[in-house]
Structure 1
Amino acid sequence: MAAVGVVLAVGAGGAYAAGVGPFARGDAGPDPAALEQARAFLADWAGGRLPSAAARTTSPGTAQEVLGNFTAGLDISKPNLTAAQPLLAEDGTVTVPFTARMPITDLGTWTYKSELPLREQGDGSWKVDWRLSLVHPRLSETEKFRLEREETGAPEATDREGVMLTTDEYPSLGPVLGQVGGAGAGPRGAVRLVDRVTGEVERTEARFGEAPEDGSGDDGPVRTTLDADWQSAAEQALAREADGKNAALVALRIDNGEILAVANSPSSGFNRAVSGTYAPGSTWKIVTSTALLLKGAVGLDDVVDCPKYLTVGKQFHNVETSEFPGASFRKDFTESCNTAFISLRGKLGDGQLGEVAAKYFGVGQEWRVGIPSYDGSVPVPRDETEKAASMIGQGRVQANPLIMASVTATAVSGTFHQPTITAGDTGGTTTTPLPAHVVAQLRELMRATVTDGTARVLADLPGEVGAKTGTAEVSEEQDNNGWMVAYRGNVAVACVVEEGVTGGGSAGPVVHSLLTAVPES
């Protein structure tokens, strides 16, 4: 498959990478200039700006060569680098620990921890004190890493009714069919630590796609949970309505989490729908609303003013700087008012949004989907600005269409069901059902968003259709990503269109096309 990876994360230079740092500022803490240099180095490295990253080190030439060889040699698409609290040594040097999540094309994500050393220069500036071990603690003058792939070939696969699935007829399954098989078999490989001179393997750092011990992956076609009708409609909807932009869509059953369709545009390369990392934007207000309603912190008819702007360390605004003076919380949800939601941040503890996401929606737990997946992240905000951003699905909150389709299904049913694309083990998650009164409120809010709010594009569809739109900032140089999640009958859908500007205007027509083409189920 093509080595294509689109990972939209703060680490990759998103809008909040520059404005909301991961570092706590204190009078006795490290020099802010050192922290700024560390933040900039990690952002440049993650964003593929290797000459710029290398220039921030004490050895630019070597740094650029090593960083380039490391990412290219291991088929790493775009790193996601998350910094922890900095450490200040007695000699004045600064160390910034960080977690590296390295997506290896077609295999999965290699996660490890390392440290970024910084030293003050003679002119008072700060630079990253270059050494091989900052890239990975075991990288050295005598050891390096080698990626080994095992060619397994794409297994034959069928949909839930036994219809054969091929990439000729369903091109968007290209990144998917090579990953399914037996109890999670598919592309297999490993990252090995080897001796630079002899090439002898010293240890295995990461394994991907281990073959089933019982050999079940070799016994005929793999039966998936996919539905050929839904899959075809999803691919046609993206082809017809996404305007050639990068986009992804997932449809799944609400009652059991079985995935009915996974579609990507372009149809080859990276599986954005399941492995992508995106800020979910205002679709995340489903989770934020859940946290507020669980706490009794707000009622649907409570007045929560919606001004054009609200400043919390930085200025936040609504899409097209709209405002709704004296709006009810219901109105804030249906019109997706950022400032109103941000104004309620004091009603939640700093880590409460992440706790609710994990406890009730399974986000951030380990999912066993049947193919490699990214399972979401909701870090505890490091300051009030980041907390404000997380209320509206920005900052360091990360999801993808699979996660948001599951969030929607959980919200409208009350029970999380592990999403799956095969009949393999779906254990690994532990969640708590939502109270019935919260489910009823969430359904009411999402239905009102279709009848009276930003998801009016779906209003002509028959039956009870509920939805939530989202607009997610990426960077100052890129248009916003457009999102929409929706439910109808026993199916939940989520779609993202990169640089779609608004959810209703970009993802909305895709979802409308899909739901029009497939009868209610």
Structure 2
Amino acid sequence: MPRSLQRCAALIVLALVLPLAACTNEADDAARKAADDLAASLSNHSLEGVVLTDADAAGAFEELVAPVAAYEVEVTAGEVERDGPSANAVLHWSWTVEGHEWTYDTSVALTEENVNEEARWAVEWSPAAIVPDLAADERIAVSREFGPRADVVDAAGEPIVTARPVGRFGLDKANVGPEQVGESAERIAAAVGIDPAAFRASAESSGPQAFVEALMVRAGEEHLHVNPDFSEIPGALVVEDTVPLAPTRRFAREILGFVGEATAEAVEASDGAIRPGDRVGLAGLLARYDGTLRGTPSVRIEAVGADDARRTLAEWDGDPAEPLELTLNQEMQLHAEDVLAQLGEDAGGSAIVAIRPSTGEILVAANGPGNGGMNAATAGQYAPGSTFKLVTALALLRAGVTPDQGVSCPPTLTVDGFTFQNYDDYPAGALGDISFRSAIAHSCNTALIGLRDRIEPSDLAAAAETLGLTAEIDLGYPASMGQVPDPEGETERAADLIGQGRVQASPLAMATVAASIQVGRTVVPHLLVGHTGEPEPAQPLTADEASVLQELMRAVVTEGSARFLGSIPGDPVGAKTGTAEHGQPDENGDLPTHAWMVGTHGDLAVAVFIERGESGAQTAGPLLRALFERW
């Protein structure tokens, strides 16, 4: 063939091949894109936007995938092999199931369709595309099983929160006619003291065989909460159960929290770790350490046939729950709560905190019944009043003031137009020229305010830090120590010295101040065994400073405002009373007062706080005495 004809033939062949190659690459790319789009939709547990050869397959898919829809999955398309109008795509599945990884491959068929003269790839969906070899009559089932929930225990290993018997009082709709449900529900609600209308609505909206719980009651306390006529109501039923509970209903409840059925908020915030119906900690330490106390579940994923035949697709063993160990002394905690329970309603909120100075262990963190559920003991913020004079005393000692140094204690002292005075029953014999020791012992406001020029506000803040009243620290439990902000003017600077102004502290903080003085170093109070912190005050407490502060606290008992503690047997008792004005004046112009008292007795430091009281000595003092006499 002449060379010119050969060139012509080659050009003709090339012209025919190029369109064919272009069409082939186009079809491959379209199939690849269809596979990638399918994988992206499956990663969202959906077939939305995916073209299916059978549109009804989408509904079947949603039902099939529902049991595992709570778990994250990443699906990627692997190799796509095309053979004309058909293709097969490999799907790589990677599930995250309760912290475990489940990976496998499946394959799915694709078919090229022409719609309105436009080519597209459709997915031939089948159950085996989501799980290998899954038959059309099989479904996916997931079972999660937790082991026993761990206890909250004390340092001796004795249970604090553990499974205790309860009775669940409610309506069994299976044993009452539909026409009787509303009336029985209202009678049951009245018998257990809950809202009848609300319980009726709940009962009527529940399933026809449902047990609708009205109230859970500890075993042995039924007579306190349930009318004896309960058992005579049609459909009334008591279901016996066990629930993680503390020794008593009020035992450290504001700190421990409680266990109950997971709320919608808890489920949403858990990233799949918590499911509807799970029993979880819902407040306090039981919520914060719920994962530790529950452990992780054993999980089994199965394929279940129409005849209920089961085959395991994947399974993992869970991790056992671990107990949470606290430093609380159960006997002391119960006693402190009994003491606080004796306060009248007029006392408002109250708290008692006890610390072992040598170790920093919190032995008691008790809240009174008037707190309204608030954790005043370790997280409340209040003006500490004259208990804060221990901090002021340390700042003044560092400025050169000595216990025997003479100071002036006038009845009143005016600072920048504001007149300060001593508490109402301040002893007249302790006015005038007295020693600094006597000023602390009798709690002379005017004497300490008169010494304000000896120290700077930063000296007061540094002394507070030395004694443990420091910035917020996270030691694993709800705690707020307090604040000593820079004063805004001379009047506030004066007020700060006597625990007023904007100075605030929690009962935990003031117990920590007393504990630091007693042990001679900065104490970091801890509630969780093994979860301690190292204090880092800019100015550590010296042995001489601690000795003088102990002497001053002892003087409060031997000659000052806490002489009623002088008869406590055993180790010498140190103390400091405190009364702090707060809030708005009454019709007589008088401000309500917090009543405080801190004390030390051997290896024990205690703070007592009462929101509304006469004075530290009169209101908080008897409580501290009752504690020291028992402990």
Partner in structure 2 of residue 384 of structure 1: 490
Is the contact between residue 367 and residue 429 of structure 1 (CA under 8 Å) also seen in structure 2? no
Q: Find 1:174's aligned residue among 253, 275, 281.
A: 253
Compared with structure 1, are the counterparts of its residues 420 and 343 closer, same or farther at alpha carbon in structure 2 (3 Å cutoff)? same
1:472 alignment partner in structure 2: 580
> Is 1:236 the equivalent of 2:236?
no
- Matched residue, 2:506: 400
**432, 454, 460: which is aligned to 2:567?**
460
1:515 alignment partner, SS class: helix
How far residue 357 of structure 1 moved from its aligned partner, in angstroms, is 1.3
1:427 aligns with 2:533: yes
Secondary structure, counterpart of 1:171 in structure 2: coil
Which residue of structure 1 aligns with residue 555 of structure 2?
Answer: 448
Give the C-alpha shift of residue 299 in structure 1: 1.2
Amino-acid identity (%): 40
Are the structure 2 counterparts of residues 438 and 235 from structure 1 closer, same or farther at C-alpha, using a change threshold of 3 Å? same
Partner Cα distance (2:150, 2:621) in 1: 34
Seen in structure 2, the aligned counterparts of structure 1 residues 189 and 419 have a Cα distance that, compared at 3 Å, is farther
1:225 pairs, out of 294, 306, 327, with: 327
Of 498, 515, 519, 2:611 maps to 498
Do 1:367 and 1:418's aligned partners in 2 also have CA atoms closer than 8 Å? no
Which gives a bigger RCO, structure 1 or 2 (Cα 8 Å, sep 6+)?
Answer: 1
Whether 1:333 aligns to 2:440 is yes
Larger radius of gyration: 2
* 2:413 is equivalent to residue 310 of structure 1: yes
Are the counterparts in 1 of residues 475 and 533 from structure 2 also a CA contact under 8 Å?
Answer: no
Amino acid of the structure 2 residue aligned with 1:247: S
SS of equivalent residue, structure 2 residue 608: strand
Shift of 1:189: 7.4
Aligned-pair CA distance for 1:471: 0.4
1:287 to partner: Cα distance = 0.5
- In the alignment, the residues of structure 1 paired with residue 594 and residue 412 of structure 2 have an alpha-carbon distance, to the nearest angstrom, of 21
Secondary structure of the residue aligned to 1:304 is: strand
The structure-2 alpha-carbon separation of the partners of 1:277 and 1:160, relative to structure 1 and needing over 3 Å to count, comes to: same
Tell me if the contact between 2:293 and 2:323 (Cα under 8 Å) persists in the aligned partners. Answer: no
Match of residue 164 from structure 1: 159
Residue 171 of structure 1 and its aligned partner are, at CA, apart by 1.2
Aligned-partner Cα distance in 1 for 2:409–2:379: 35
Aligned to 1:375, which of 468, 474, 481? 481
SS at match of 1:250: strand
Shift of 1:460: 1.3
Q: Is 1:511–2:624 an aligned residue pair?
A: yes
2:595 to 451, 474, 482: 482
Residue 231 of structure 1 and its aligned partner are, at CA, apart by: 0.7
Counterpart CA distance in 1 for 2:326 and 2:526 is: 9
The answer as to whether partners of 2:441 and 2:556 remain within 8 angstroms in 1 is yes
Q: Which whole-Å CA distance do the structure 1 matches of 2:507 and 2:432 have between them?
A: 33
Specify every segment of 5 or more residues in structure 2 that has no aligned partner in the other structure, as ranges: 1-148, 161-244, 260-264, 270-283, 296-320
Alignment partner, residue 7 of structure 1: none
Flag the 1:191–1:325 CA change in 2: closer, same or farther, 3 A: farther
TM-superposed deviation, 1:467: 0.2
Q: Structure 1 regions of 5+ residues with no counterpart?
A: 1-153, 181-187, 193-207
> In structure 2, what is the equivalent of residue 135 of structure 1?
none
1: CA distance, partners of 2:527 / 2:411 = 43
- In the alignment, the residues of structure 2 paired with residue 157 and residue 326 of structure 1 have an alpha-carbon distance, to the nearest angstrom, of 55
Preserved CA contact (<8 Å) 2:469 2:512: no
- How far is the alpha carbon of 1:355 from its aligned partner? 2.0
Residue 398 of structure 2 corresponds to residue 289 of structure 1 = no
More off after superposition, 398-407 vs 314-323? 314-323
Tell me the CA shift for residue 155 of structure 1. Answer: 7.3
Residues 129-188 of structure 1: per-residue CA shift (max 9 Å, x gap): xxxxxxxxxxxxxxxxxxxxxxxxx974222212222545261411111289xxxxxxx9
Instruction: Give 3-state SS (helix, strand or coil) of 2:408's partner.
Output: coil
The residue number in structure 2 matching 1:342 is: 449
Q: Counterparts of 1:408-427 in structure 2 under 5 Å?
A: 408-427=514-533
Aligned-pair CA distance for 1:190 = 13
Report how far residue 480 of structure 1 moved. 0.8
* Structure 2: distance between partners of 1:484 and 1:408: 10
Cα RMSD (Å): 2.7
Distance 1:308 1:173, change over 3 A: same
Structure 2 counterpart of 1:274: 378
| More displaced 10-residue stretch of structure 1: 348-357 or 421-430 | 421-430
Secondary structure at the residue paired with 1:339? helix
How many residues matched? 341
Q: What amino acid maps onto 1:496 in structure 2?
A: F
Letter in 1 for 2:391: V
| 1:393 counterpart SS class | coil
Does the Cα contact within 8 Å between 2:292 and 2:323 map onto a contact in 1? no
| CA-CA distance at 1:433 after TM superposition | 3.1
Superposition TM-score, scaled by structure 2 size: 0.51
- Whether the 8 Å CA contact 1:170–1:231 is kept in 2: the answer is no
Question: 1:172·1:268 contact (CA, 8 Å) conserved in 2?
Answer: no
Q: How much has 1:243 moved relative to structure 2?
A: 6.6
Partners of 2:336 and 2:567 in 1: how far apart?
Answer: 19
1:30-76 alpha-carbon deviations (Å, 9 max, x no partner): xxxxxxxxxxxxxxxxxxxxxxxxxxxxxxxxxxxxxxxxxxxxxxx
1:190-230 Cα offsets, whole Å, 9 max, x none, are 999xxxxxxxxxxxxxxx98966984664243211000121
CA distance in 2, matches of 1:511, 1:458: 9
Structure 1 residues 490 and 428, CA, compared in 2 at 3 Å: closer, same or farther?
Answer: closer
Structure 1 residue identity aligned to 2:153: T
Q: What pairs up with 1:190-209 in 2 under 5 angstroms?
A: none
Other-structure match for 1:94? none
1:453-507 per-residue CA deviation (whole Å, 9 max, x = no partner) reads 1112211101211000000001323521110000001010001111112001111
Aligned partners of 1:330 and 1:445 also within 8 Å: yes
